[in-house]
Structure 1
Amino acid sequence: MEAGGLADSLLSGACVLFTLGMFSTGLSDLKHMRMTRSVDSVQFLPFLTTDVNNLSWLSYGALKGNWTLIVVNAVGAVLQTLYILVYLYYCHRKAKVIRTKSTQRLSFSLTIATLLTSASWTFYGFRLKDPYIVVPNFPGILTSFIRFWLFWKYPQEQDRNYQLLQT
């Protein structure tokens, strides 16, 4: 196998691995929503935007006949739709990060996964010289950095469910 083919295969594998990892971060939110019967610490917008993105990429993958895009985005669309349906089932009210000055409702693991996924797909698109892969994934890198900034500006509070010892 030539060097370019091996590099493309490794990068394609990284894209699949990071993307499926990103999609699976919602499983912890799903478990939390089912256990608490609420959506208090879960945000809806990432599920919606990722689902729309998956459906778009699934269409593009079908158009190009690219099985990497088809399989990954079919799995993603199914998972994101499931997350949305469970969210809507348990949703009673909404909270905002800026209004509450709290990142308790943001997922740090999803932020990292989104950065890795968006970066790997962007590099994959550059490698294939395909702007239809590069352009839609680049905003994921930017929004990840915005979320990192929010985590820095509004750090998550530590769990304070313990008793202080008297001295």
Structure 2
Amino acid sequence: MAGGLFSMEHPWASAFGILGNIVSFLVFLAPTPTFLRVYRKKSTEGFSSVPYVVALFSCALWIFYALVKTNSSPLLTINAFGCVVESAYILMYLIYAPRTARLRTLAAFFLLNVTAFSLIVVVTLMLVAEPQRVKVLGSICLAFSMAVFVAPMSVILVVIRTKSAEFMPFSLSFFLTLSAVAWFFYGLFTKDLYVALPNVGGFFFSFTQMVLYFWYRNPAKPVSVLPTTAAIAATLAARSDEELMELPLGVHAVPAITIPVLAELQKMEQEVASPRKAGAKAV
């Protein structure tokens, strides 16, 4: 695989690596409409910066893994692109976010992308023998990716509870599924389990989201749920898809659109709950 994305010695691995790059390129650009909106309105409108900070960490981690392993051009190219895109998103967020959100973002950035990443680099290079570096670093990447997979369960439960998939864009779930398939086979053909295994989970959760979308896309009637949840679902249904198409957290394993969606859910539930508290006090 050295010397470029395509190698005649490993045609299948090269083909899936290129496919993974193309799909992941589109996924990385998914939040562009959201940030164009931020630029036009000069406001972040309360959405979370966490997905972009974590995505930058994920990209940097996989770049380090690709450099240590060598001969991993597809991983290197797409994650380098991801670092550039994520950095641009974070910079724009810092420009237009209110002071409190800006400070939280900077704190998360320095904690994760500076402190944690530097610690991983130092420990890997200084304390781990060279023959074991790929194994240790791959295990860290695998553990991080698998931990991220817990997030989709929350949005899946929200969809099932509200019986509405109006705030879960099908197109993004589709591309995440395709991305998981491409990177799984890339890992399989290159015999890299650290790339292949996380994408088993990525495929499962993304495919589950697509199934739920078709199951709940046309609810027959309103469902009796908690008042705050109903209000949230109604407000989300009135919003455009571009506001909800936040970036997944990484290239290999990340149907993490769920994190910004959950942040939005929490924010909106607080907004709905606040008037009630005020009314209760008035009584």
TM-score of the two chains, using structure 1 as the length reference:
0.69
Residue in structure 2 matched with residue 110 of structure 1 by the alignment? 172
1:6 offset after TM fit, Å? Answer: 2.7
Match of 1:157 among 237, 262, 265: 237
Residue in structure 2 matched with residue 11 of structure 1 by the alignment? 16
User: 1: distance between equivalents of 2:190 and 2:183?
Assistant: 10
User: 2: distance between equivalents of 1:31 and 1:20?
Assistant: 18
Letter in structure 1 aligned against 2:74: T
Letter in structure 2 aligned against 1:73: N
1:44/1:103 CA distance change after superposition, 3 Å: farther
Residue in structure 1 matched with residue 124 of structure 2 by the alignment? none
Written as runs of structure 1 = structure 2, the 5 A alignment for 1:1-167 is 5-40=10-45, 44-65=49-70, 66-91=72-97, 98=158, 108-145=170-207, 147-148=209-210, 157=237
Moved more, 32-41 or 6-15: 32-41
The question of whether the paired residues in 2 share the 8 Å contact of 1:43 and 1:105 is answered with no
1:80 offset after TM fit, Å? Answer: 1.4
Letter in structure 2 aligned against 1:79: V
Letter in structure 1 aligned against 2:30: T
- Consecutive unaligned residues in structure 2, runs of 5 or more: 1-6, 102-153, 219-235, 240-283
Letter in structure 2 aligned against 1:69: L
Query: What's the secondary structure of 1:61's corresponding residue?
Result: helix
User: 1: distance between equivalents of 2:95 and 2:167?
Assistant: 18
Number of residue pairs aligned between Structure 1 and Structure 2: 155
User: 2: distance between equivalents of 1:83 and 1:158?
Assistant: 25
1:139/1:32 CA distance change after superposition, 3 Å: farther
User: 2: distance between equivalents of 1:17 and 1:123?
Assistant: 15
Letter in structure 2 aligned against 1:125: G
Task: List per-residue Cα deviations over 1:33-66 (Å, max 9, x = no partner).
Answer: 2123333495544323322221111111111222
1:116 offset after TM fit, Å? Answer: 1.8
1:29/1:112 CA distance change after superposition, 3 Å: farther
User: 2: distance between equivalents of 1:145 and 1:54?
Assistant: 23
1:55/1:123 CA distance change after superposition, 3 Å: same
User: 2: distance between equivalents of 1:45 and 1:145?
Assistant: 24
Residue in structure 1 matched with residue 247 of structure 2 by the alignment? none
Query: What's the secondary structure of 1:39's corresponding residue?
Result: coil
The question of whether the paired residues in 2 share the 8 Å contact of 1:51 and 1:76 is answered with yes
Larger radius of gyration: 2
